[in-house]
Structure 1
């Protein structure tokens, strides 16, 4: 792929939203690798994201409401419990839930979510091999049917694993904080407001989010 084709989504975002364009320009001036499509997992806060759908979903459940550092530690403990490999759905269900929870440092809710994921896969309700071929809305519908998997987890899975180009995780705190700062809002935007602000970014909302996350990473913490 040529450099011109790689930068075409950036040019679309600049034209569609000059405010976001200022972020793109600031990142470019800062040097170093720039966000691109498909997202490069090595530039995320989770460079060791599993490459298979099932492992990625287990990792996504482990990541909910905790830091990236803590999530990596929990995921590592899950793997260690099963001999250094991602447990199969059957192994998850055959394990003692409380023993698994304690060994991996999971909450009760996340333990139940792992078991619900395993049940949906074994029953055929969730066909992981089909997710790559489904439209975005259908992927979300399939995933949120699993207990404990919400829209945020589905969005992260779609961005970092399925590499969907037009995902806007309106419930993500980092995105909401960046939007608040950039557009001088009085408070964190609600999902409907974030959706409205991000409408011009279509069909590259994923790339817009990568830049917003970069903005949040570069802001000094006080």
Structure 2
């Protein structure tokens, strides 16, 4: 195994907190086929990612409303009901993170998140304030899996890349971390994460 792990870096969405836009939109667009079309053609994953990169919601909404004026209310609903998309934390993962912090481990977070919704997330989930710090893509204009965001995080927090392990549910983001010289594990569930970390000598 490579260098001893001195730094543990957590992704947030789908690792520490649940995220699912279908939760409010099942009510807003009850028809499943229409809802699927809406996410594929209007409020797409790629559109949402640009807010994670730093685009304002005002600009994002204006862009789509110009293209789909008849969908204005549904487009605005994406930000308006965002809090419903993050209904709960993954208690098992949070327990692992808090256990590492309580055990004296250096823990930070690196997330693709819009700057303003992250402010909301911190209010909803106070445990997000427990790690030493966080890099939020929307605040710095860089996004995973671009290698630059991992390099920025390592520089800002004084991490040694080969002594850093990153946990993310997205395989491309795991690969991005590895390209930056970090160790990384693909998150599946808390129990698997415990085993994966143990494999790197990180006991929880």
Alignment TM-score, normalising by the size of structure 1: 0.26
Relative to its length, the structure with more strand (as a share) is: 2
Alignment TM-score, normalising by the size of structure 2: 0.27
